[in-house]
Chains A and B, each alone.
Chain A
Amino acid sequence: MPKIRSGLRSERRDGRRFLGIAAVAAAGIIGLAACSSGASSGGASSSSGQAIQPAVGKGAITLTEYDYYTSSYEEGAIETAISAFEKKYPNVKIERETAPYPAVTKLVALESAGNTPNIVIADQDYLSQYYAGLVPLTTFFTPSFINEYLPGGTESATLNGQEYGLQVLGGNDTALIYNKTDFAKAGITEPPSTWEQLEADAAKLTDPKENRYGFALSGSQQEGSTWQLEPFVWSDGGTLSNPGGAPWHQAMDLWTQMIQAGSIPKAVTGWEQTDEESHFLTGNVAMQLNGPWEIQQLQQSGIQWGVAPYPTKSAGQTLSVPIGGEAWSVGRSTPEKEAASAAFIQFLTNDTALNEQLTNAMGYLPALKSESASYATKYPAYAVFADEFKNGKARVYGQNYLKVSTDIQVMIGNVLSGSQSVNQALTTLQGQVSAIPG
């Protein structure tokens, strides 16, 4: 199935985090007690002692909110969140504005004209582009509040030492999704957990006569490709700043061997994640690297599917997976509007029941630590994703992650298409990355 291109795509978003109850109560109760009757979660006394609290003013406040949630389920979730907040604070009205993903160019134009939206929900990969119009969250929240969220997302939204966003309704990651029926037919009992097994299984699952390939990944020139290479490299101990190192060589060797053996279709150099999914659904691909947003479609497809963590090079290595998703931020504005925007974030953090409900509705994984602890058990379909997400890492390279990523994407394209050898491509990449300040 072809990929529908908007040309404006990158990888997908992240899971979600839980707020610790104590920090919620501390930050929330004191700040909100003046205006509302009781927060909806836990109610202990303040323990932080710091004075930074978002406090919602009394008069009528209109906030603008900006996101790219255009699928029906995403819209349902965000609009439920907004309604719940407006119900709690009847004097506050939130006007929602959407743009097609990734919506960064419009956000930059808005900010440069002094029109930054009050609540900004955007892809944290692009934070280095739009942070100039944002207010660091430490203006409103205590470190312990922020610490209720898993570190991966917080680090993704940190720039120049300032924390700009939180993954309020979670984030996402990717894992290995496989076709159980195909596995059974090929006599494979368990999903691969090492690279060797991955290579062997993919070969077994490939059937040229049926136009079926064992394994698919995203190899086109967009962020999703880097996002899928990072688990391979990072789990083996590689880093973004050292593409000349052994982990990179071995990861690219693995991919090259598989594509040369015919287990991966050559078409992947033009595929994004949606292409992997569509070919998985048509039965052309038996294993794919994709994210939890596909689960709803998978459930409706009639395919027997399973999820497994990324294979590591050797058994027992710790899996290190990059996370994705949106950072919820506060835009520069009047102090009153900024406080109200921060209160929105705080409200959704405090109300853990609502938070979990909406995170699940979004198809995301919890970024709140306490939520994350039990998510895998409550939602088994998301278990693998949630477990990976708990230890998920941020993709950072100073302010220049996307630049580095572009070079990586070009390297991937050159290697997978056979235009360059692994050595050649990685040496070039090393030279490019060394020249980029991080």
Chain B
Amino acid sequence: MMAKNRKIPGALRALITFRTLCLAPAVLYLLLLFGYPTVFNIKLGFEQEDAAQFILHSPTFNGLANYQQLIHDSVFLHALGNTAIFGVVTVSLQFVIGFGIATLLNKTSPFYTVIRSALLVPWLLPLIVTGNVWIWMLDGFYGVLNYVLVNLHVTSHYVAWLSSPHLALGAVIVANTWLGIPFNVMIISAGLRSIPDSLYEAAAIDGAGSFRRMTAITLPLLKDVTGTLVLLGAVYSLKLFDIVWVMTQGGPANATQVLGTLEYQDTFTANEYGYGAAIANVMLVLSCAFAVLYVYLSRRRKVKSQVRRPGNARSWLKEGTEVDAHA
């Protein structure tokens, strides 16, 4: 490629111009619409500012005081823990269930295609709609979920799920998982379809059962997909706000407080804009950490193919990796 450019110096100049033209809008866009507010909030995290000061643009510089306070804030630590629980449980459940569904629907006939598409609806609904539908279904007096659970003898009486500090978190996690499963199914399906059937056939000939085929072939080859899903899931869990706020507002008694809702509450109810921004900055740091990790782990790797040894399960894997590198 570089050789071409040396041969055509005029085209090189043209290349730079066109490249800039293509990239410039995106860069400008990100700087202006994301960059400026980010810088604004980073700065705000080092200030003490209530709404009045915010309005009058007269903050008080506070140094690291907000962050020092955060470390000792039990509600913040609790929210951090909740966010972590949310993240881990949601991402794992979504992946496991998504994997199961994707495997079940992993056929090319129109029947399965339509079903895969129809399954996208939960993910595409506005969150305020999802939240309120789940509230209605979880209602302690008239909720259909209670009716079903009692009649299936899973529970013995109606439960007000969102009113209980012990159960509310679980209930919101269920709603959150539900709405993210379709996205997982979508991505995993695409990943599954890129695995050549020949690998499975070779493994079957060698006597591997379906479970072994899954662990030795499917899962390793889905590493990229899994990585993407985990990263996106982590970032999404960090910024979780809408579904929790609609369903429980962080209550009852802070039981479902997560970083996003706490940031909102501390800013707009407790009137501490600087403190809220500090929480948001913690979210930003964590998010960057995940993003850096992801980019590091998914940088292009050269894969050596190995000599295939008979009876060696990993040999199918290597062959698959080789295929992957060329695909």
Contact = CB atoms under 8 A, between A and B. Distances in A.
A268 B163 contact: yes
B132 interface: yes
Interface stretch (A143-151, A297-305, A408-416): A408-416
Given A267-B163, A406-B265, A128 B271 contact: yes
B135 A220 contact: no
B254 A4 contact: no
A148 B164 CA distance: 46
Nearest to A406: B269
Interface in B27-62: 50-57
Contacts of B252: 219-221, 269-270, 413, 417
Nearest to A133: B55
Contact of B251 (A4, A265, A267, A270): A270
A128 B56 CA distance: 13
Interface stretch (B137-145, B178-186, B198-206, B215-223): B137-145
A51 B255 CA distance: 55
Contacts of A269: 160, 163-165, 251-253
B240 to A, nearest CB: 13
Given A128-B50, A129-B51, A2 B143 contact: yes
Given A4-B132, A105-B268, A129-B51, A417 B143 contact: no
Contacts of A222: 249, 251
Interface string A141-161: 000000000000000000000
B271 A399 contact: yes
B55 A410 contact: no
A6 B271 CA distance: 20
A412 B252 CA distance: 9
B250 interface: yes
B102 interface: no
Contacts, number: 140
B56 A132 contact: yes
B68 to A, nearest CB: 15
B249 A221 contact: yes
B261 to A, nearest CB: 9
A3 B252 CA distance: 14
A402 B51 CA distance: 13
A400 interface: yes
B238 interface: no
Contact of A132 (B55, B142, B245, B255): B55
Given A2-B142, A267-B141, A417 B135 contact: no
Q: Among the interface residues A112, A132, A270, A409, which one has the most CB atoms of the partner chain B within 10 A?
A: A270
Interface in B234-253: 245-253
A220 B271 contact: no
A93 interface: no
A221 B253 contact: yes
Nearest to A267: B160
Contacts of B268: 104-105, 108, 129
Nearest to B128: A6
Contacts of B164: 266, 269-270, 417
A414 B165 CA distance: 8
Contacts of B265: 406
B245 A128 contact: no
A124 interface: no
Given A402-B270, A406-B270, A5 B140 contact: no
A277 to B, nearest CB: 13
A1 B54 contact: no
A402 B265 CA distance: 10
B50 A5 contact: no
Given A2-B135, A5-B131, A419-B253, A131 B52 contact: yes
A59 B152 CA distance: 73
B191 to A, nearest CB: 36
B246 A1 contact: no
A269 B163 CA distance: 5
Contacts of B254: 221, 410, 413
A312 interface: no
Nearest to A413: B253
Nearest to A104: B268
A284 interface: yes
B132 A270 contact: no
Contacts of B143: 2
Contacts of B251: 220-222, 269-270, 409-410, 413
Interface of A: 1-7, 104-105, 108, 111-112, 128-133, 211, 219-222, 265-271, 279, 282, 284, 399-400, 402-403, 406, 409-414, 417, 419
Given A279-B141, A400-B271, 19 more contacts: A1-B141, A2-B141, A2-B143, A3-B135, A7-B245, A7-B247, A128-B271, A132-B51, A132-B52, A132-B53, A132-B54, A220-B248, A221-B251, A267-B140, A270-B168, A406-B269, A410-B254, A414-B165, A417-B164
20 contacts: A3-B135, A5-B249, A7-B247, A108-B54, A111-B55, A129-B50, A132-B52, A219-B252, A222-B249, A267-B163, A270-B140, A270-B162, A270-B252, A400-B270, A400-B271, A402-B271, A406-B269, A406-B270, A413-B252, A414-B165
Interface of B: 50-57, 128, 131-132, 135-136, 138-143, 160, 162-166, 168, 245-255, 265, 268-271
